Structure 1
Amino acid sequence: MCSLSRQTVRRNWSLYAGSFVALAVGVFLLGLAATATAATIAYHGPASASIAVTTLGGDGTPPERVTVPLSDADVSGLQTVLSMVGTLCGFITIFVIASTFAFAVASRRRELGLLRLIGATPRQIRRMVLGEALVVALAASLAGAFFAQFATPLLLRKASYTELAPVKLEPASPWVPLAIAVGAGLLVAMLGARSAARRAARVAPVDALREAALEPPRIGPVRIVFGVVFLAGAIAMLTLIRPSSGEGAVPLAMFTPMVLVIALTLLAPLVVPPVARLWAVPVVAWTQASGRLARSNVLAAPRRSASLAAPILAISAIAGSMVLSLSFAADSAEATIRDAVRAPIVVTGAPPADAPGVKAVDAGLPVQLVRVAADYAELEDAEGIDPAIASQTRDLRVLSGDLGKLSGNTVAVSKEMSGFEGYRVGDEVSVVFLDRAAVELRVVAVVKDAFGVNPSFLIPLDVARQHSPGTQVERSFVLPADGTDPAELVHRIPGAELATGWEADQAVGVRKGNQLGLVMLLGPAALYSAIAIANTLLMGSLQRRQEFVTSRLLGATPAQIRRMVLWESALVGAVALSLGTAITVAVGILIRHAMTAGVADVPVTVPWGVLLGIGALCLTLAVGSALAPTTYILRRSQPAAAVES
C-alpha cells in the first residue's frame, strides 16, 4: 500500500500540490511560532530584572520559590501572541487539509470505484488514502520546518525591543520546537485526511462505470450529528459573550467563530444549496446561459462547492470577527476613559506646587508589586492615591466597603479583580513590593472598573512612597479653582492639556496597540488562508479538463466557458462570504453589548475599509484562481480531446 500511495501521489501531483503547499506553509508558521516561543523561554534577564518570591501553598500544594520577571524583561506578551498564532494556524491548517483531501477524494470517485471493482477492500482504500496523506505530509512538514529554521532569526530581530518583547531575543536550540512542528504537521494531515479516507472507503464499485462525477444526494448521519453538536457548542459559547464575562469576552469572540466554521462546514451540503440559490437569482437574470450553468454546477456538487468555499469561510469569519471585536474594544475603552476622568485638566508629571488657580491635584504614584497566590505569583500594576482627592478627579465609585478607610497596609481592588480572584472586603492580599518587602494588604473597598485610568490595585499614597521612594509621578489630574477657566489654566501649567485631548490620545494608543496585535495574529493566518484559497480553487479547475473539453465539443466557446467559471467561482465565494458575514455580525453585536454595558455614549467605529478589503480580496482570489487554470486548459486542449481515453 505504501508503494501504491507513492505512485498515486506522483500520478495525481496536481491534486496534491495544493495540499503540499498548504501544509508546508502551515508547518512553516507553526515552526516559526514554536522556535520563537523557545527563544522567549530560553531568555533569562539579569538578576535585577526579576524578583524571587515564595508562593503561599495550601490545599495540598506546597510553597514554591518562583522568579517573577519585571516589566522591562517580560516577554509573556510575545508568548501569548505566539500561542494564539499557533492555535489559529493549526486550526486553519487542519481545516484546509481536510477540505483539500475531501476534494481530492471527490475528484477520484471513478478511480476509487475501479479499484473496488478489481477487488480492493474498503480497508485497503482507506489505508491507501491515509498513505497518500502521510507521503504528502512528511515531505511538506520537512520543507516547512527547514524554512522555519532560517526565518527564525529574522522574526526574533523584528520582535526584539518592541512592546511585546522589550528585550533582545536570541534563537534557542531548534530541534525540539521544529520536531514539535513536524509532528503537529503530520498529526494535522492525518486528522484532516481521516474523514476523506473513510469517505473513499465507502465508494461503490459501480462508480467506476459512471461518466458523470455526480455526488451522492445526501450526507451521512454521523456528519449531521457532529455538525449539530458543534453548532450547539457555538451557540452556547455565543450566550457566554455578555457583560459578566469581563475580559473573557474577547477570547470567546475569537474562538467562537472557529467552532461555527467547523459546524457550517460539516453541514455545508445542507447549507450551501439554499444560499447559492439566493445568490444565483440575480446572476441568472443577468447572464442567462452561463449563470444557469454555474448555478447547476454549484448545486449539483455541494460537497465540492463546500470544499472550495471552506478556506474563504474560515478567514472571512475569523478575521472579520477579530477586526470587529478589537474595534469595539477600542470604542469601549475610549468611552470608559472619558467617563472615568472627572477633572478637566491632565498634566504630564506633577504640576508646580504653587501653581495659581489650582484647587486640587491628584498626583497618583505608580508602583508595581508581586501578588502572591497559593501556587503562582504575578506582577501587578498599582497606584498610590489620596482617596479624598482622587474621588473628586476620577470615577472611584465604591461597590462595597469604604474607600475612606484606605490608609496603612490596605488596598482597594477593582470589580474585575474582585471577580477573578474572589476578593471581598476584609480579605488579605499577600504582596511583595519591588524593594523585596512582603506585606499583607487588607481589602477595604471594591471600586468600579476604569481601564486606562485606575489600575486593579489602589493603595495609600504614603505606602507607595515608602516602597517606591524614587518613583516619579507620570500624570496628574487637576481641578481648577472656582471661577478659573480650564482652557486658560492649561497655558499656565507646563505639560498640561485639557482632559478631552488626553482622552483622545489614550484612545489612539489603544487602537494602535490593537492594530499591532491584529497584524501579529491575522498576518500569518491571512497569508496562509490566501495561499489555501488559491490552491483549492486551482485544484478544482485543473481537475475539470475533460468537462471543459466536452463542453467545447458540444459547441461552447472558450469565452462562454470562462464566463461560466467566473460566475461559478463568484457564487462559491459569495456563499462563503455570506456565511462568514453572518458569523461576524452575530459575534460583533454580542461583543459590543458585552463591552458597552453600563457605559454611556459609546462611539461606533466599524472598520468598513478593512472588512470590505477582506471580502474583496477573498472574492478576487477565488475568481482569479479559478479563471487562470481554466484559460490555460482551454488554450492547450482541443475539442477532439474529449474522445481520447
Structure 2
Amino acid sequence: MFFLSRQTVGRHRHLYAGSFVALAVGVFLLGLAATATAATVAHGTGNLASITVTTLGDADATPRPVKVPLPGADVSGLQVVLSLVGTISGFITIFVIASTFAFAVASRRREIGLLRLIGATPRQVRRMILGEALVVALAASLTGAVLAQLATPLLLSQASYTELAPVKLEPASPWVPLAIAVGIGLVVAMLGARSAARRAGRVGPIDALREASLESARIGPVRVLFGLLFLGGAITMLTLIRPSTGEGVVPLAMFTPMVLVIALTLLAPLVVPLLGRLWAIPLVAWTSVSGRLARSNVTATPRRSASLAAPILAISAIAGSMVLSLSFAADSAVATIRDTLHATIVVTAPSMPAVPGVGVVDAGLPVQFVRAGAEDAQLEDAEGIDPAIASQTRNLTPLSGDLSQLIGNTVAVSKETAGLEHYKVGDDVPATFLDKVAVKLRVVAILPNGQGVNPNFLLPLDLVRQHAPTAEPAQLFVQPAPGVDPAELVTRIDHAVLATAWEADQGAGVRKGNQLGLILLLGPAAFYSAIAIANTLLMGSLQRRQEFVTSRLLGATPNQIRRMVLWESSLVGMVALSLGTAITGTVGILIRHAMTAGVPDVPVTVPWGILLGIGGLCLTLAVGSALAPTAYILRVVGRRAERGNMHRTVVHQRQ
C-alpha cells in the first residue's frame, strides 16, 4: 500500500506541491525557533555572571537553589520571543496543513470512489491516503529542517548584542530541536490527512461517485460538537479579558483569537455559505450572471469554500487582534504616564546645576534585586526615592498603607504586582541585591500602577545607596517654584524638556517597541500565511479545469469565466475577512476596557493603515492566486481548441 501511495503522490505532484511547500515552510519556521532557543539555553548553562537564591517553596514545591543571570547576560527576552514565534508558527502550521491536506484529498473524491467500485475496502483507502501524507510529510519536514539549520547562524548573528540578547550567541547541537520540528511536521501532516481519510473511507461506492459532483451541505456531528466546544472555550476566554486579570490580559488577547479561529474553521461549512449569500446580494444586483454563478459556487461547495477561507481567516484574525491590542496597550501606557507624572519638567540627565526658579527636584536612583518566589526567582527593577519629595512630582497616593513609613528595609509595591503576588501591607518580600546581600523588605504601602514613571517596587533612598553606591538617576523630575513659568525655566536647564514632550517621547518609544515585537512575532507567520493562501487558491483553481472546459463548451467566454472566478475569490476573501474583523473588533474592545479601566481620558489610536493593509494583502493574494491559474487553464484550453479546429479543417479539406 505504501508503494501505491508513493506512486499516487508522484502522479498528483501538482496537487501535493502546495501541501509540500506549506509544510516545508512550517517546519522551517519551527526548526528555526527551536535551534535558536537551543542556542539561548546552551548560553544560559555556561559560566555567566549570576546570583544564586533559594526559592520559598510551598505546599506543592520544595525550596531549591536557582541561578538568576545578572543584567547584561540575560537572554530570557529572546527566549520569550522565540517561544511566542514558535507557538504562533506552530498554530498556523497545524491550521494550514490540516486545511490544505483535507482540500487535496477532497479533490480526489472521484478517484477514491472508483477505487471503492473496483473493490478497495475503506481500510485500504485510509491506509493509502495516510501513506500519501507520510510521503509528503517526510520530504517536506526534512527539507524544512535542513533549511532551518542553514539559516540558524544568520538568525543568531542578527539577534546577538541586541536588547533581547546582549551577548554573543553561538549555534548549539541541532539534533534535538530539529528532531522535534520534524516530528511536529509528521504529526501535523498525519492529523491533517486523518480526518479526510476517515471521511473518504466511510463513503460507499455509489455515494462516492455522486459526491464527486456535488458536496453535501451537511457536516458531521463530531465536527459540530468540537466546533461548539472550541467556541464555548473562546467565549470563556473572552469573559476573562477584564481589568482584574492583570498581566494575563495580553496572553489572553493573543491566544483567544486562535481558539476562535479553530471554532469558526470547524463550523465554516455552515458559516461561510451564509455569509457568502449576504455578501453576494450587492454583487448579484451589480453583475447579474457572473455574480450569480460566483454565489452558487461558494454556497454549493461549502467544504471547498471553507478550505479556501481558512488561511485568510487565520492570519487576519491573529494579526489584526495583535495589532489592535498593542496599539491600545500603547494608548494606555501614554495615559498612565500622563496621570502619574505631576512634574512639569523632566531633565534627561543624571544631575543638574543649581538654577534659580527650581522648586523640587526628584532624583530617584534605579536599582535591581532578585525576588524569590515559591517556585522561581526573577530580577526586578526598583527605584529608591525620598517619599516627601517624590510625592510632589508623582502620583504616590497609597491605596493602602502609609508611604511615610518607607524607611529602612521596606518597600512600596504597585497595585498590579500586589494583585499578582498576593502582597498585603505588612508582608515580607525576600530580596537579594546585586551585591549578593539578602534582606527581607516589609511592604508598607500599595500604590497605583504607574508604569513608565514608577517601577513596581519603590525603596527608601538610603537603602539603595547602601547596596548600589554607584547608582545614578536615569532622569530628574522637576517642579518649578511657585509663579515660575515651566517653559521659561526649561530654556535655562541643560537637557530639560517639558513633561508633555517627554511623555510624547515615551509613548513613541512604546509604539516603536511594539512595532518590533509585531515584526518578530507576525513576520514569519504572515509570510507563511501568504504562501498558504496562494497555495490553497492555486490548488483550488487548478482542480477546476474540467469545469472551465464545460463552461466553454456551453458558450461561456473566457472573460465571463474570469469575472466569475474574480467574484468568487472576492466573496471567499470577504467572508474570511468579515470573520477576522469580528474577532479583531471583539478582542480589541475587551482589551481596551481591561487596560484603561480607572485611567481617564485615554486616547484611541486605531492603526487603520496596518489593518487595511492586512485585509488588502489577503484579498489581493486571494484574487491573484485564483485568477492566475484560471488564465493559464483558459489559454491552454483555447490552444487545444484551435489545434482541434485546424485538424478538423485539414481532414475536411482532404476529404
What TM-score range do you get, normalising by the shorter chain? over 0.9
Equivalent-residue separation in structure 2 for 1:65 and 1:324 (angstroms): 41
Give the distance between the partners of 1:507 and 1:186, measured in 2 at CA: 45
Residue by residue, what CA displacement relative to the aligned partner does 1:105-162 show, whole Å, maximum 9, x if unpaired?
A: 2211111111111222222212221111111111000000010111011111111122
CA distance in structure 2 between the aligned counterparts of 1:143 and 1:296, rounded to whole angstroms: 40
Question: What's 1:72 paired with?
Answer: 72
Counterpart-to-counterpart distance in 2, 1:47 and 1:483: 57
SS at match of 2:167: coil
CA distance in 2, matches of 1:80, 1:211: 48
SS class of match (2:491): helix
Give 3-state SS (helix, strand or coil) of 1:492's partner.
coil
CA contact (8 A) 1:55 1:64 kept: yes
Q: Which residue of 1 aligns with 2:371?
A: 371
Aligned counterpart, 1:602: 602
Distance 1:475 1:482 in 2: 22
Alignment TM-score, normalising by the size of structure 2:
0.96
State the AA in 1 paired with 2:517.
G
Distance 1:290 1:157 in 2: 53
SS at match of 1:525: helix
1:402-551 pair list within 5 angstroms:
402-551=402-551
Query: Could you tell me how far apart the structure 1 residues matched to 2:45 and 2:125 are?
Result: 55
- Residues 12-33 of structure 1 deviation map (CA, whole Å, 9 limit, x = unaligned): 1121110000000000000000
Amino acid at match of 1:63: P
Distance 1:48 1:137 in 2: 40
Q: Give the 3 Å change call, closer, same or farther, for CA 219–60 of structure 1 in structure 2.
A: closer
The separation in 1 between residues aligned to 2:192 and 2:249, in whole angstroms, is 30
Q: Deviations over 1:142-183 (max 9, x none)?
A: 000010111011111111122211211111111111111101
Cα 1:126/1:70, change in 2 over 3 Å: same
CA 474–489 in structure 1, closer or farther in 2 if over 3 Å, else same: same
**Secondary structure in 1 aligned to 2:216?**
coil
Structure 1 equivalent of residue 396 of structure 2: 396
Cα pair 2:242 2:590 within 8 Å, conserved: yes
Distance of aligned partners of 1:489 and 1:45 in 2 relative to their CA distance in 1, 3 Å threshold: farther
Alignment of 1:196 with 2:196, yes or no, is: yes
Query: In 2 relative to 1, CA 353–38 (structure 1 residues): closer, same or farther, beyond 3 Å?
Result: same
Query: CA contact under 8 A between 2:26 and 2:528: conserved in structure 1?
Result: yes
> Matched residues in 2 for 1:583 and 1:512: separation?
25
Deviations 1:439-471 (A, max 9, x none): 011111111111111111111000000000011
Please say if residues 25 and 144 of structure 1, whose CA atoms lie closer than 8 Å, have aligned partners that are also in contact.
Answer: yes
Partner of 1:12: 12
CA offsets, 1:380-410, max 9 Å, x none? 0000001111111101121111111000000
Scaled by the length of structure 1, what TM-score is found?
A: 0.97
Residue in 2 aligned with 1:119?
119
Question: Structure 1: which amino acid aligns with 2:601?
Answer: D
Q: Deviations over 1:588-642 (max 9, x none)?
A: 111111111111111111111100000110001001101111111111125988x
Kindly indicate whether residue 118 of structure 2 is the aligned counterpart of residue 97 of structure 1: no
The letter for the 2-side match of 1:539 is M
Is the alpha carbon distance of 1:492 and 1:571 closer, same or farther for their aligned partners in structure 2, counting shifts above 3 Å? same
Distance 1:382 1:530 in 2: 44
How many residues in Structure 1 have an aligned counterpart in Structure 2?
643
Amino acid at match of 2:547: E
* Same amino acid, percent of matched pairs: 77
SS in 2 for 1:216: coil
Q: How does 1:514-593 map to 2 (within 5 A)?
A: 514-593=514-593
Moved over 6 A (4+): none
Q: Compared with structure 1, are the counterparts of its residues 253 and 468 closer, same or farther at alpha carbon in structure 2 (3 Å cutoff)?
A: same
Q: What is the root-mean-square deviation in Å for CA atoms of aligned residues?
A: 1.7
CA distance in 1, matches of 2:398, 2:349: 27
1:311 and 1:533 in contact (8 A); partners too:
yes
**1:528 to 1:29, Cα distance in 2 relative to 1, 3 A:** same
d(CA) in 1 for partners of 2:619, 2:170: 40
Q: CA deviation at 1:515?
A: 0.4
Aligned to 2:293: 293
Show CA shifts across 1:500-537 (max 9, x none): 01100100000000000000000000000000000000
Residue in 1 that maps onto 2:629: 629
2:110–2:212: 8 Å Cα contact kept in structure 1?
no
Q: Cα deviations across residues 264-304 of structure 1 (Å, max 9, x unaligned)?
A: 11111111111101111111111111111111110100110
One-letter identity of the residue aligned with 2:446: V
How far did 1:77 drift? 0.9
Match of 1:86 in 2: 86
Structure-2 separation of matches of 1:510 and 1:60: 38
Whether contact under 8 Å (2:101, 2:189) holds in the other structure is: no
1:118-157 pair list within 5 angstroms: 118-157=118-157
The change in CA–CA distance for 1:91 and 1:44 in structure 2 (over 3 A counts) is closer
Q: Secondary structure at the match of 1:73?
A: coil
**TM-superposed deviation, 1:67:** 1.3
**Native 8 Å contact 1:33 1:83 kept in 2:** yes
Deviations 1:217-244, CA, capped at 9 Å, x for gaps: 2111111111111111111101111111
1:16 partner letter: Y
Q: Deviations over 1:3-54 (max 9, x none)?
A: 1111111111121110000000000000000000011111149867322222
Residue identity opposite 2:7 in structure 1: Q
1:380 partnered with 2:387: no
1:354 Cα deviation from its structure 2 partner: 2.9
The CA distance in 2 between the partners of 1:398 and 1:36, in whole Å, is 44
2:29 maps to what in 1?
29
Which residue of the partner structure matches residue 284 of structure 1?
Answer: 284
CA distance in 2 between counterparts of 1:48 and 1:117 reads 68
CA distance in structure 2 between the partners assigned to 1:91 and 1:46 by the alignment? 32
Counterpart of 2:611, as a letter, is L
Structure 1 pair 97–371 and aligned structure 2 pair: CA distance change class (3 A): same
Counterpart of 1:487 in structure 2: which amino acid? A
Cα distance in structure 1, aligned partners of 2:163 and 2:256 = 28
1:157 alignment partner AA? S
Cα distance per residue 1:58-104 (max 9 Å; x no partner): 43644322211122111111111111111111111111111112212
Residue 72 of structure 2: SS of its match in structure 1? helix
SS in 1 for 2:94: helix
Q: Alpha-carbon deviation of 1:574? A: 0.7
**DSSP-derived class of the 2:52 partner:** strand
- Counterpart-to-counterpart distance in 1, 2:47 and 2:10: 57
Residue 55 (structure 1) shift: 2.4
Amino acid at match of 1:53: V
Take 2:46 and 2:232, find their aligned partners in 1: how far apart are those partners? 50
**Cα deviations across residues 295-339 of structure 1 (Å, max 9, x unaligned)?**
111010011000000000000000000000000000100110011
1:325 equivalent in structure 2: 325
Match in the other structure for 2:648:
none
**In the alignment, what sits opposite 1:108?**
108
CA 1:47–1:405 in 2, change beyond 3 Å: closer, same or farther?
Answer: farther
2:345 corresponds to: 345
Instruction: State the Cα deviation string for residues 554-597 of structure 1 (Å, max 9, x = none).
Output: 11111111111111111110110011011111111111111111
Amino acid at match of 2:280: A
Measured against aligned partners, the alpha-carbon deviations of 1:460-492 in whole angstroms (never above 9, x if no partner) come to: 000000000011111111111111111111122
Q: Give distance in 2, aligned partners of 1:410 and 1:29.
A: 47
Deviates further, 202-211 or 536-545: 202-211
Please state whether the residue corresponding to 1:89 is helix, strand or coil.
helix
Offset at residue 349 of structure 1 (A): 2.8
Asked if the contact 2:541–2:630 (Cα under 8 Å) also holds between the matched residues in 1, the reply is: yes
Gap runs ≥5 in structure 2: 645-655
Q: In 2, Cα distance between the equivalents of 1:438 and 1:47?
A: 22
**Given residue 232 of structure 1, which amino acid in structure 2 is its aligned partner?**
G
Distance (whole Å) between structure 1 residues aligned to residue 233 and residue 477 of structure 2: 47
CA distance in 1 between counterparts of 2:640 and 2:595 reads 64
Instruction: Note the C-alpha offset of 1:437.
Output: 0.5
In the other structure, the counterpart of 2:651 is none
Contact map agreement 1:351 1:493 (CA 8 A) in 2: no
User: Following the alignment from structure 2 to structure 1, what is the Cα–Cα distance between the partners of residues 428 and 67?
Assistant: 22
